[in-house]
Amino acid sequence: MYRLRKKIKGFTLVESIIAIGMASALIILVMKLTSAIRGDVVKGTVDLQNLQDARLVINSLRRDFTCAMPYYDPSDKQEDIDSVRNNPVLYTETYTDSSKKSKPIIIHKHHLNFIKPAHDSSGNLNMEEITYVFDGINKTLIRHSSVSGEKNFKGMDNIEFGLYYHPLETDIPMLFVSMIIRTTEGGETKTLPLTTTMCSSIVNKDIVNLDWNSSKKN
């Protein structure tokens, strides 16, 4: 009497190789997709951090420059004081200190210098000297205050200052700020230019004050 043997079904060698190959391809695809997503997240984090650094710089500049004013020294001749008052903002390619104590707001390509009112711990009103200098080697904007000391801002590839006059307000000098943020991730370099303008409310008010500015009188 013969017994019927049940055939056991299984994978052949060729089928096993094909299955392993498909599984490997799927794993590689998932790994590449995960790596790409992680890279995009990291790059996005870097970009957001640099934008945050740029925002801090702009806020600091705007907070200081809104109150910026020339320095008028009473020991100078009246004609020297009037000269500074009539030209309260000066753009110069070569930054040098004037021999006169009275001096305007000075704008240089990588340098700012001005005075602004500040209250001390006792509530007395004093003059605070503010200086901004961009260190191109260390990619750092350095803010120095005669009251609070030094503060560094990083995250910029370059920053430049300029003097700007709006076509509708040609008498009002404005500070033009141009900065470049650079990010490098995975060998890819990307730059993002940012520009803004700001003006001093003190200088603005002084210029349009016809009571002292004889050049404005008819």
How confident is the model over 172-216, as pLDDT tens digits?
Answer: 889 999 998 876 655 676 778 889 999 898 888 777 665 555 545
Residue spans of alpha helices (H) in the chain: 13-65, 78-86, 201-207
pLDDT in tens, 77-112: 888 888 888 888 989 877 565 567 888 899 999 999
Give me the pLDDT at residue 8, please.
55
**pLDDT above 70 for 2:** no
Q: What pTM, to 2 d.p., does this model score?
A: 0.70
**pLDDT above 80 for 62:** yes
User: 119 CB contacts (<8 Å, ≥6 apart)?
Assistant: 125, 126
Whole-number Å distance between alpha carbons of 30 and 2: 53
**pLDDT above 50 for 35:** yes
Structure confidence at residue 61 as a pLDDT band (50, 70, 90): very high
Can you read off the two tokens belonging to residue 217? 């009188």
Structure confidence at residue 46 as a pLDDT band (50, 70, 90): very low
> Cα–Cα–Cα angle for 204, 76, 89, nearest 5°?
25
Give the SS3 label for residue 120.
Answer: coil
- Residue that wins the pLDDT comparison between 3 and 19: 19
Average the pLDDT over 120-126 and give the result.
75
129: left (phi over 0), alpha (psi -120 to 50) or beta: beta
Give the SS3 label for residue 166.
Answer: strand
Which residue in the block uniquely carries the two structure tokens 């008028």?
A: 72
User: 120 CB contacts (<8 Å, ≥6 apart)?
Assistant: 126, 147
**pLDDT above 50 for 45:** no
Give me the pLDDT at residue 159, please.
94
- Percent of the chain topping pLDDT 90: 26
Give me the pLDDT at residue 176, please.
94
Whole-number Å distance between alpha carbons of 211 and 69: 18
- Percent of the chain topping pLDDT 70: 72
User: What are the angstrom distances between the C-alpha of 165 and each of 176, 197, 199, 204?
Assistant: 9, 10, 10, 12
Backbone angles phi, psi at 171, to 5 degrees: -90, -15
Report the mean per-residue pLDDT for the chain.
78
Whole-number Å distance between alpha carbons of 180 and 72: 35
pLDDT in tens, 136-152: 999 899 999 988 889 99
Cα-Cα-Cα-Cα dihedral sign, residues 9, 11, 14, 15: positive
Other C-beta atoms lying within 10 Å of the C-beta of residue 38: 10
